[in-house]
Amino acid sequence: MHVLRQTHTPRWTLRALALLSAAMMFLIPWADNAAAHGSIVDPASRNYGCWDRWGDDHLNPAMAQEDPMCWQAWQDNPNAMWNWNGLYRNNVGGNHQGQVPNGQLCSGGQTEGGRYNSLDAVGPWKTTDVGANFSVHLYDQASHGADYFQIYVTRQGFDPASEPLGWDDLQLVEETGSYAPSQNISVDVSAPGRSGHHVVFTIWQASHMDQVYYLCSDVNFN
């Protein structure tokens, strides 16, 4: 997994810069916002994955059959993908479960005026293959750093394709200390005893202010 991540990083970094530059050239109103924050890029968060696969081809009707969950997300609000790095809540005060209700975890409690609501949709989201031991890789464009990460994985028996995600469906598999500001942070996790489609739910408490990112990544334990 580490070798794949190291060889993949320059491609998505350069692609991110290229598409963000293109967005600014076309005076897209949310381009400045999109350049400011971060997300989990491996295993890809739901909206980063949709942007990575379809950002330069998002009007292609083939998406409806090939990637139906991304299709519904693009139809609901394209800004969720263009702002793949802006899914956060401010002033949470550590009360994650109080701020983010069951069924709304992947949208951060319908944050940002509901921009990310499509990420809570139940269905066959595209997955990243992982083993029992894998790494969660944050790309932090603004180098906010982290007070901590809390990384959860759904329990065996939960079906993301047919059930909304709730707190009781998650098991905490890693809680970290602080990380110094950096654009690339990887956290090693272990989630044995699982097979098939699961959700990795990452809470990233940024260090620059009380700003928390809630990020769902779909994985396939093989």
Average pLDDT score over residue span 193-218: 96
DSSP 177: -
Give the three-state DSSP class for 26. coil
pLDDT value for 24: 36
- Per-chain mean pLDDT for the chain: 88
pLDDT tens by residue, 132-180: 999 999 999 989 999 999 999 999 999 999 999 999 999 999 999 999 9
Give the three-state DSSP class for 207. coil
Is 3.40.50.720 the CATH classification of the domain at 2-221?
Answer: no
Tokens at 179, concatenated? 């990380």
pLDDT tens by residue, 45-88: 999 999 999 999 999 999 999 999 999 999 999 999 999 999 99
pLDDT tens by residue, 82-115: 999 999 999 999 999 999 999 999 999 999 999 9
Per-residue pLDDT band for 36 (boundaries 50, 70, 90) equals low
Residue 36: closest CA among 166, 193, 141, 121: 141
Quote the CA–CA distance of 109 and 113 in Å, as a whole number.
10
